[in-house]
């Protein structure tokens, strides 16, 4: 069945499962919840997670003078990465108040608080003025929006003319009904996500909002070690969840999180989704007098 998640659901997911990422994704080191991209230079999980940031940065290009919105910033790892690597000013927004606190603490610990601000906000309806940002950074956040068009409508409004959206995310490999695919439902619903776009669906939506795709990389094969690690963590999580529930009831997302880890492995191996990096540019038709 198709399920739509509220902002509160999304906040609950990240708050309830943060402990899992601290345990199995080395959150205090990697500062990221996203898939890591592995290549010959990557030796550790932390390096893989940060390599995703680096690969997206290399593809899109960000200047020191750019003002960046990290839309769906999580615990702030990408914002910290950009501040350290580029020296640009970054505003990170998340639906989770707890993540704002965690991200702010991480930025302060790493001496980047002077360049970064974290806020609790909905990226489909922000309070930012028109034409505020040069760059929107969206790692595994755009697909979380139940209404993808609402995301791009808001990004079109707050980006400056010629501004760019840099995306790293999962996409369906072909057009199919997720409501009829139980494993895909398990994968997405456990992450408080309703659905995924295909690349062609994305291109149609962004075209309707005056964006054009200017760069694209399919890195599906390069996240395989991350997919496997999540799968192995999910197996451990199964036993941990059963043990925990002998003594007290786990929260909803914490209880089902291991199922998502198992399902993402199965659906990856059956080629139902892939992982892509891309850059979208706001076209000249968006210039306002």
Beta bridge partners of 120: 94
**What's the rounded Cα separation, in Å, for the pair 55 and 58?**
5
Q: Are strands 159-172 and 273-282 parallel, antiparallel or unpaired?
A: antiparallel
| Residue 92 host element (H or E) | strand 89-94
| Residue 161 host element (H or E) | strand 159-172
Q: Which of 140, 154, 222, 281 is catalytic?
A: 140
Find the DSSP H helices in 40-147. 45-60, 77-85, 97-109
Closest-CA residue to 278 (of 190, 187, 222, 211): 211
What proportions of the chain, in percent to the nearest 5, are helix, strand and coil? Answer: 50, 20, 30
| Cβ neighbours for 283, distance < 8 A, ≥ 6 positions apart | 210, 211, 212
Say whether 140 is catalytic: yes
Listing DSSP states for 232-266 in one string gives HHHHHHHHHHHHHTTTSPPPHHHHHHHHHHHHHHH
Tokens of 74: 């999580």
| Cβ neighbours for 238, distance < 8 A, ≥ 6 positions apart | 258, 262
Q: Mind telling me the catalytic residues?
A: 140
């Amino acid at each position: 069945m198709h399920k739509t998640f509220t902002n509160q659901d999304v906040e609950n997911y990240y708050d309830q499962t943060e402990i899992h990422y601290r345990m199995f994704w080395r959150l205090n080191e990697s500062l990221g919840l996203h898939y890591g991209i592995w290549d010959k230079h990557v030796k550790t999980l932390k390096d893989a997670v940060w390599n995703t940031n680096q690969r997206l940065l290399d593809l899109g290009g960000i200047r020191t003078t750019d003002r960046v919105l990290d839309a769906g910033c999580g615990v702030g790892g990408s914002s910290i990465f950009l501040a350290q690597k580029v020296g640009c000013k970054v505003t990170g927004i998340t639906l989770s108040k707890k993540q704002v606190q965690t991200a702010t603490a991480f930025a302060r610990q790493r001496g980047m608080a002077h360049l970064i601000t974290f806020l609790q906000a909905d990226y489909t309806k922000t309070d930012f003025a028109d034409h505020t940002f040069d760059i929107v950074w969206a790692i595994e956040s755009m697909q979380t929006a139940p209404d993808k068009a609402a995301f791009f409508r808001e990004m079109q409004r707050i980006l400056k003319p010629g501004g760019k959206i840099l995306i790293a995310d999962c996409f369906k490999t072909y057009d199919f009904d997720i409501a009829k695919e139980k494993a895909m439902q398990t994968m997405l619903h456990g992450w408080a996500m309703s659905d995924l776009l295909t690349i062609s669906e994305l291109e149609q939506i962004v075209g309707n909002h005056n964006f054009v795709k200017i760069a694209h990389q399919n890195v599906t094969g390069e996240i395989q070690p991350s997919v496997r690690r999540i799968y192995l963590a999910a197996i451990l999580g199964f036993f941990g969840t059963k043990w925990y529930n002998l003594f007290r009831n786990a929260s909803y997302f914490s209880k089902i999180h291991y199922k998502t880890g198992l399902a993402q492995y199965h659906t990856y191996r059956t080629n139902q989704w892939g992982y892509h990096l891309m850059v979208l540019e706001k076209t000249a038709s968006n210039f306002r007098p």
